[in-house]
Chain A
């Protein structure tokens, strides 16, 4: 007996549903480097490809209110791919600035949607001075929750988690804000969770817990890893003290697929339990000649987590928590330079690690690539291509086989490279008129974003007719 026609249609729809969803859904970039693991990999990009990268163009730029003195005034935008708001369907870019302002920008049009000044409300005076180490103001890139792995995740109860997806921001007074993505309003009264005037790294939200790291003992605040449990009536804070000098990167912590929280100071990598931050394991670099120079990036490789960090000696270190083995790459940065960021992605079963190398003098600047391999049961970082025409101070980001890197020179330049070969596919040339903000790149839904030191947010991407 033939199937009813509507049933045939339903079956056809089901067959095509994954394809439809992939095409249809605008995706998020909810946190620094795009995910809780800090991979820098946008896994669902469809518009930017190796073939279309040459068609990238400056779509819009928008000047925002930033502190005049800051070297990193604009934090990379969080992207909310689709908000069905009372003002329409929007793709929003949320940008935090050192002026304690969070902006929501219509990412398609480059128009302001809302802006919110996070009032300073601590009894301690607001830090008036600013330095590279302690810039003051909002220092942590805001975040939206990353998607919890299937089958896990605490039920969202309590005023800080129940209801619509929200944006979370840490103001310079140490209060956590839950912001309405449609209006910028505080959904609940912000709560003090950290000391004021810290230098907090980007927020990382996993299963209703906000993680960050404070460094530089700014204004006598402790250097520590922080976990802010948003569930329940009020946020609860746990911390893990860092004994050595903290790492300056914006990345903060990386959270693996099993929820383990990875953070580091200059000498040790720590594996901490989720939420409570109990020490599970540590990986001391005491036997190495170098110190840890970047926040960790974690990825899954052959069903186990692998950590990668930069060393002060210009090498990438790969840590296998299971075997406790550490592999180090050949040096890619000289004594006058350093690795300023790491990202990773997987292509047809090949795991790649990319490093942004900034250099001075004899030290060559570049984007360096490595393949992760395991020839004799141990992780090895095998050098791949190097692209030497770039002096980048932010980690690259990857989408659909294309690596994006940002040169931070007097006029920032965005590069798109073939992720497999390093072949240049696009350069923004002289379209940007100020140095890069040295904070990071964001990529989502056919657009790449970054800020410059004059407080301008740039959006490059594939043109869509409006």
Chain B
């Protein structure tokens, strides 16, 4: 036991010295949104969170989009010494490397290309064009160089040196211009992304490119659905299978249509092959009411098994086994929760949007967290609550075995949040935020009218919260310190700092004052 304690202490000391990273959206390829290496922020001090700096960037918002979650890498050797860098991507094809200690830009890169022939409908929030995929940062090479993989709005995949911003090798094609790609992910040197909404007339599919392939062949799998718009793209399991939700669409196995489901694809040879899928048994209802499966799953280990959780606008959480997602008929999950929200069966402003989160506490309890929008469902029972939820909340489940089956047991539901977004977890603290964005897509007087200007005008501002991860109790709120809203982005956390970018292209860095 002493030896174990020593090992833990040494590892903790190493983390403090070396520092933690957040190299990809969701923190890791499994998209758990769990910062396992946090040592600075904890339940006892998080109430003292402050805005350490805010940095106004010259990135022009497109539609409602602006900044994506920054990627954090410590111990980067730059021309001016070793720095901890936040790599911030902006939708207008900008990348910024920021010294997180000073909140100052080290370098900026703008991807130049001729205006694409095709683009989304003007004012359409679904198809902003430009750089929409959160980049990712690879591991250090033999020389210690860390490569930034970034997908420009023209579909070119760039390879940049994190320390300098210089192009390491020429970009390669990896998609179509203005195709609305989602966060990049990497596994064994294969980069994945997903596309959705048919933006600019482009197909909705999973994309992969093998960095070891000299030809850089672009591999795709198209589930023939409405779009793979999980906020953090695909999550990748230990077998290299990339799991992505498929959005609205028909399910017809014979016709190879996998709408309203979650598909798992894997690179075999130089092809992207469908390995497995899950489609809820009520997919037709979900299609009719536009209740997409569109939540990037979180993949985790539980008692020797590899499980994942995902959700939908219908507002259920699904627990799936990666070895047989949906069982023999592809429609039987390990567990499906009751409706958490969306009693009105609305396609906008309600349901689960974005991505999931999962972590394990020191007692070995496996937790799953989901955000949701809108009022809590009156039939959803949860032991710990914090007042009436009208606009959204975070719900935490424990993964438990009962009657020989694994299930999600509701543990707590947070306070009300104005459009609760995917949380991140670090050191027993859940960080979450209400985006403050107006999510209305239809109006009483005119029906569907999903226009960015209307929504931007009606949006308010984001609020960052810190919650006790075991009880959901509020430990911190940023109140009205954040000036603008945050659309389809996310939190990043590393080394005592929490980051959020907002529509006005301001990157906020929260942390503890020295």
Contact = CB atoms under 8 A, between A and B. Distances in A.
Given A6-B202, A9-B203, A464-B284, A89 B290 contact: yes
A85 interface: yes
A106 B443 CA distance: 18
B475 interface: no
Which of B222, B288, B440, B441 has most A Cβ within 10 Å?
A: B288
Contacts of A464: 282, 284-285, 288
A84 B285 contact: no
Main secondary structure of the interface of B (DSSP, over half): loop
Given A9-B203, A163-B446, A183-B444, A87 B282 contact: no
Which of A9, A10, A185 has most B Cβ within 10 Å?
A: A9
A320 interface: no
Contacts of A466: 282, 285
B444 A180 contact: yes
B199 to A, nearest CB: 12
Nearest to B339: A466
A162 B88 CA distance: 46
A261 B204 CA distance: 48
B446 to A, nearest CB: 6
A271 B321 CA distance: 68
B250 A26 contact: no
Nearest to A12: B224
Contact of B176 (A6, A89, A163, A182): A6
B288 A89 contact: yes
Contacts of B176: 6
A300 interface: no
Which of A24, A109, A180, A466 has most B Cβ within 10 Å?
A: A466
B447 A26 contact: no
A87 B344 contact: yes
A200 to B, nearest CB: 28
Contact of A89 (B347, B440, B445): B347
A347 interface: no
Nearest to A91: B288
B346 interface: yes
Contact of B289 (A24, A88, A180): A88
A125 interface: no
A164 interface: yes
A26 B285 CA distance: 12
Interface string A267-303: 0000000000000000000000000000000000000
Size range of the interface on B?
A: 20 to 34
Given A6-B176, A6-B203, A84 B346 contact: no
Interface residues of A, number: 28
Contacts of B443: 86
Nearest to B314: A466
A127 interface: no
A182 B285 contact: no
A83 interface: yes
A77 B474 CA distance: 50
B6 interface: no
A98 B345 CA distance: 31
Given A88-B345, A89-B289, A108-B288, A9 B444 contact: no
Contacts of A181: 447
A348 to B, nearest CB: 26
Contacts of A85: 442, 444, 447
B281 interface: yes
B453 interface: no
A233 interface: no
Contacts of B448: 84
A23 interface: yes
A180 B442 CA distance: 13
Interface in A67-103: 83-89, 91
Which of B281, B282, B285, B442 has most A Cβ within 10 Å?
A: B442
A182 B344 CA distance: 14
Interface in A4-36: 5-6, 9-10, 20, 23-24, 26
Interface string B200-228: 01110000000000000000101000000
Nearest to B248: A24
A465 interface: yes
A87 B346 contact: yes
5 contacts: A6-B176, A83-B447, A87-B344, A88-B347, A180-B444
The 9 closest A-B pairs by CB, nearest first: A88-B346, A465-B282, A84-B448, A86-B442, A89-B290, A89-B289, A183-B444, A9-B203, A86-B444
Given A6-B201, A163-B446, 20 more contacts: A6-B202, A9-B203, A9-B222, A10-B201, A23-B250, A24-B287, A26-B288, A84-B290, A84-B441, A84-B442, A87-B346, A88-B289, A88-B345, A89-B347, A91-B288, A108-B288, A108-B345, A181-B447, A183-B445, A464-B282
